[in-house]
Structure formats: C-alpha cells, structure tokens
Amino acid sequence: MITARTPYLLLQISRTRAAIEQFSVLPFSANGELLISAYGTAIYKCPNLRCSHFENGFTTRSLRDTHYQRHKRPFKCENEECDYSAIGFTSKSLLARHVRLCHEPSSDQPIFPKISRCPIDKALYEAIDKEDTLAPIRGY
C-alpha cells in the first residue's frame, strides 16, 4: 500500500541501502554474518519499488545497474491517448515499430504473408522430429 509517507520511506530505504553497499566493500567481521542473515548475500537491490529485485537484489553493482537501465523507458509515444505515452519504450526502434503498427493508417489493400511450401515428405519428417501432429495439416 502506497501512502503519503512513501517518498520519505523510500528515501530512508535508499540511504540505508547505500550505507550497506558501502559497508559491504569492507572485510566482514562478526557483524557481517548478522548482515548476511538479515539482508542476504545479494546486497545490491533494485531501487524500483515494484520490481522483484527490490527485495531479491544482485550480487554485484554492475548487474544491478545493468538491470536498472531496463526500467528506464525514455522513448514515449506522442499520441496522448495511447498508454505508451506514459509507459514509454526502451529504444527508438521499439517506439518506431509501435507507431508503425498501432498509429499509422493502414491501406485498404490486404497484405498476405508469403508462405513457402515444402514437400509433404519433408513436412512429415520434420513433424515426426518435432513430435508435432498438426504440422502436415498446417502445411509446414
């Protein structure tokens, strides 16, 4: 449950985690075992509250930082009625694909995919190899 105090709590959590990460660089003493039993060995936690790695964490800072980059979605859809104007995409190419598929007007001419046929004996052998009983019916 997110309340009015959530930003304050997240600030305190991030400060605590920064201190733990800094402390973890030092050689562990007897208190280190207590830290590991309470916090775990994966001390580098994702700062995104809704992420499973917020609690589970990573064993190295670089793994955490690489993971956290996936949460950033700076490429937003310009259509304000689209959900992706708020959510965004991780790359320009994904945004361009979304715009092309969802927002560009389509032509009235249907475009059918090109189907490459294969001989029935080849389809049967492949179906047997893949244990796919419907492959010969579908034509591949």
Res. 63 pLDDT band, cuts 50 70 90: very high
Whether residue 95 contacts residue 89, with contact meaning beta carbons closer than 8 Å, is answered with: yes
Smallest Cα–Cα separation from 103: which of 84, 89, 90?
84
Higher pLDDT, 43 or 140: 43
**5-61, pLDDT tens digit by residue?**
668 888 888 898 888 888 765 555 555 677 777 777 888 999 888 888 888 889 899
Give 3-state DSSP helix, strand, coil % of the chain, rounded to 5: 50, 5, 45
Token pair 């034509």 is found at 139
Average pLDDT, rounded, for the chain:
79
Smallest Cα–Cα separation from 56: which of 70, 69, 37, 43?
43
